[in-house]
Copies of this chain bind each other. A is one copy, B any other.
Amino acid sequence: MSSVGTNGAGTNGAMTIGDFAALTHLSIRTLRHYHQAGVLEPAEVDPSSGYRRYTHEQIATARVIHRLRELDLPLPQVKTIMATDDPAQRSSIIAEHLQRLEAELARTRSAVTALHRLLQPEPDPVVELRTLPARHVAAVRATVDHDDVLAWYDSAVAVLDAAVPPASRRGPLSGRYANALFAEGTGSVSLEYTVDHGVRVNPLSGVEVLALPAVELAVVVHEGDHGTIDETYSRLGTWVREHALTIGDVVHETYLVGPRDTPDPSAWRTEIGWPVLRLSSSSTD
């Protein structure tokens, strides 16, 4: 850089784009861009070489532009502000920009909160993240209306119990319910026992053996009869919306303790699982 900067302010001598860039903390590229955009025109352009010349008076203008850009004011608005001398127009441009920024601020703030929650799924004692490994199940499947689910359930249990002897079962009875069942009134459902790979089931019984992929579940246990299971569902739904990314629309239910185990409804235990995208490994497996 030449010694232009020490010539004393108020001197009218023009300076090169390099000197001007150094004095204004704007890059040469940016200055050329501002020239082309008509936001900050050099005081003079050499017609033969195309060299730009800037004056000391333009330093102040460049600084204001720099500041407005720091505040993310778009270039066209910067141009308007510098071109007008109407304070009212200037302030309305600033005010409008402020509104945009405040909206963006709110959006970013909520995104930050959401990301925080995704990373720190708030140790809610009732909700747990669990990996359900790949497995084989003996299943009775159907597509049913919401109103027919209970009737279908009873008959499916009978079919399943008849076809899968207790010795073949590797866990309690469980079911999977497509969300469409609740959202649209009709959906596919499946009642299942986990079984070993290769187990034989009478193909005429209505029971199939399925290979199911591993799945990550947000899990909650509902206590008592199913009259109030909606509350547990909604609690799980809320937690998942806020603390995880749902993936898949199939709810998993596992009947840990049910009417077939004890007639006392207050002792029943139903586990509800919602498929999620697993982000952290901090929870129970």
User: A residues near B, CB below 8 A?
Assistant: 5-6, 8-11, 57, 59-61, 63-64, 67-68, 70-72, 81, 87-88, 90-91, 94-95, 97-98, 101-102, 104-105, 108-109, 111-112, 114-116, 118-119, 143, 178-181, 184, 186-188, 245-250, 275, 277-281
A180–B6 CA distance with the chains assembled, in angstroms: 8
CB distance from A48 to the nearest CB of B (A): 32
Chain copies in the assembled complex: 2
B67 near A94 with CB under 8 A, answer: no
Taking each of A181, A186, A245, A248, which has the highest tally of chain B beta carbons within 10 Å of its own beta carbon?
A245
B249 near A8 with CB under 8 A, answer: no
A245 near B67 with CB under 8 A, answer: yes
Given the contacts A64-B245, A67-B245, A178-B9, A94 and B112 also touching, CB distance less than 8 Å: no
Chain A, interface SS category: helix
Which residue from B60, B102, B104, B184 sits with its C-beta under 8 Å from A249?
A: B60
Which residue from B11, B112, B187, B279 sits with its C-beta under 8 Å from A87?
A: B279
Report chain B residues within 8 Å CB of A57. Answer: 248
In the complex, the chain B residue whose C-beta lies closest to that of A280 is: B91
8 contacts between A and B (CB under 8 A): A6-B186, A8-B186, A8-B187, A9-B179, A64-B247, A94-B115, A97-B115, A101-B108
